[in-house]
Amino acid sequence: MTANLLYAAVVAVREVANVVLLGSLFFLLFVQLPAIARLKSARARLALRKASFGRLFLWGWLGLGVLWLTALYDLLRVDGPLPLHSSAAAVLAAVFTLIFIIAQFGIYLQSIIALDEGNSERAAWLNHQLHWVLRFAFLLALAVLMLHQLGPVLIPPEGFSLQDLLPQG
């Protein structure tokens, strides 16, 4: 009974982390950045983007860390080889993590430096690039979530074959 409660707690924490990570990305990309783009002052837009991306990365790393910890728990809990959907989700999650690292410590950091140097044009271009990189990352994170949630359903039950669905004769 205790193992079931622990697993239920891990699943609940994982779902909250998914909401934090995907919700943060969704809100930034599809709500906040379009609203910021409507501001007339380029300086104000860049300052708000800087603050927005900073908070996204803070909450994104928190959610991502929790997701990796719960994945490690699942890995330790599995008897035998990992299911194919779990392996695919792990690969996509690793790619997402790499993209998130590049987004924060590459593109975002360069945009902050450009902004501090007064090069607003370069900072705006880098922010535009960051926007597209994070859209791709959002799609990857969504794919990981879908694989994790729907993967067990996609595996046919033991003894089931696609041949069973074909007409006989």
Query: Where are the domains positioned within the chain?
Result: 2-23+42-151
The torsion of the CA quartet 82, 95, 65, 90, rounded to 10 degrees, works out to -10
Using an 8 Å Cβ cutoff, are 25 and 55 in contact?
A: no
pTM to 2 decimals? 0.78
Per-residue pLDDT for the chain (169 aa), expressed as one digit of tens each? Answer: 577 888 888 888 888 888 888 999 999 999 998 988 898 887 788 788 888 888 889 998 998 898 888 888 877 887 777 777 777 878 888 899 999 999 999 999 998 898 889 888 898 899 889 999 999 999 998 988 888 778 777 666 565 565 666 676 5
Q: Cα 27 to the chain's mean position, in Å?
A: 13
Gap between the Cα atoms of 141 and 145, Å rounded = 6
- pLDDT attached to residue 106: 94
Q: What is the largest CA-CA distance in the chain?
A: 76
CB-CB contact of 147 with 27 (8 Å): no
67, 70, 74, 77 alpha-carbon torsion, rounded to 10°: 170
Structure confidence at residue 31 (pLDDT): 92
CA–CA distance, 118 with 30 (Å, rounded to integer): 28
